[in-house]
């Protein structure tokens, strides 16, 4: 059984972009990865990785931690996948009514994109589609479920990165530690999207995110305006097939 874990960075409300990134590995590989990952975090006094918690760290200390964590990821995963979306591009190509009608938000579209890449990855070696696990706190879960299920993908699973106790039921909800690796990649994708936003002439090449992560098989990229125009045309064609006018139905 292969499992792919994805997290998001940014949003479509307060941020200019949203990125979804993550990795796929076998269940056994994730178990080994988790042990090494948590041991490395504890060496720096951390129980959970979240990029924003590294703000204020000395550059050398943060760089050493990230390099070590990237090496742990590379040694255990089979592939990576990531997609970034600049929100202004989405709003420019699809109206609010169209986004509502087709259940398209930045998160659901980016999530659908990485799911497609996981399907291609599995088909290349004749494997089964991996389970798709997303971070539970990201907004747009309903839209993502609709897009995936309506297009023949397995229903996504949503889990938190951290273990916590539910306030009302007091039930302990176990966190999925591999989502923390997705957090790291999603931040790198978001940073690349920020560079594009700040300089429209900047390269849209996402093949260079980190010297170690770049060595992991798999593609990461940005959803361009051309991609969005193609998506709109496809959705309009699907709608046009729902009803055909001027058809006469014979009755006996």
Q: Give the relative orientation of helices 141-150 and 106-124 as an angle to the nearest 10 degrees.
A: 40
201-207: list long-range contacts, CB under 8 Å, 24+ apart. Answer: 206/82, 206/84
Specify the pLDDT at position 241: 58
CA distance 210 to 72: 14
Q: Which helix (H) or strand (E) holds 165?
A: strand 164-165
Domain ranges of the chain: 2-242
Q: Which of 51, 83, 34 is nearest to 222 (CA)?
A: 83
C-alpha span between 192 and 83 (Å, rounded):
11
pLDDT at residue number 32:
98
From the first residue on, what is the mean pLDDT of each consecutive set of 10 residues in the chain (252 residues)? 96 91 98 98 94 92 97 98 94 94 94 96 95 92 94 94 77 89 96 85 81 96 91 81 48 46
What pLDDT is recorded for position 243? Answer: 47
What's the topology of domain 2-242?
Nucleotidyltransferase; domain 5 (3.30.420)
Residues 6+ apart with CB under 8 A from 112: 144, 147, 148, 151
């Amino acid at each position: 059984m292969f499992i792919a874990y994805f997290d998001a960075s940014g949003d479509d409300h307060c941020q200019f972009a949203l990125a979804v990134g993550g990795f796929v590995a076998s269940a056994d590989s994730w178990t080994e990865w988790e042990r090494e990952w948590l041991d490395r975090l504890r060496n720096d006094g951390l129980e959970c990785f979240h990029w924003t918690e590294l703000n204020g760290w000395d550059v050398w200390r943060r760089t050493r931690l990230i390099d070590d964590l990237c090496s742990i990821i590379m040694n255990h995963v089979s592939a990576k996948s990531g997609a970034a979306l600049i929100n202004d591009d989405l709003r420019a190509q699809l109206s609010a009514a169209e986004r509502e009608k087709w259940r398209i938000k930045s998160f659901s579209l980016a999530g659908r994109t990485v799911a497609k890449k996981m399907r291609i990855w599995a088909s290349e070696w004749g494997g089964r589609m991996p389970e798709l696990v997303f971070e539970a706190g990201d907004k747009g879960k309903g839209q993502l479920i609709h897009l995936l299920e309506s297009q023949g993908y397995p229903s996504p699973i949503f889990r938190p990165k951290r273990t916590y106790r539910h306030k009302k039921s007091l039930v302990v909800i176990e966190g999925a530690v591999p989502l923390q690796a997705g957090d790291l990649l999603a931040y790198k994708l978001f940073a690349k999207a920020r560079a594009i936003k700040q300089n429209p002439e900047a390269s849209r090449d996402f093949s260079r995110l980190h010297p170690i992560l770049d060595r992991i098989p798999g593609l990461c990229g940005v959803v361009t305006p051309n991609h969005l125009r193609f998506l709109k045309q496809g959705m309009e064609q699907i709608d046009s097939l729902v009803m055909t006018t001027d058809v006469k139905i014979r009755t006996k």
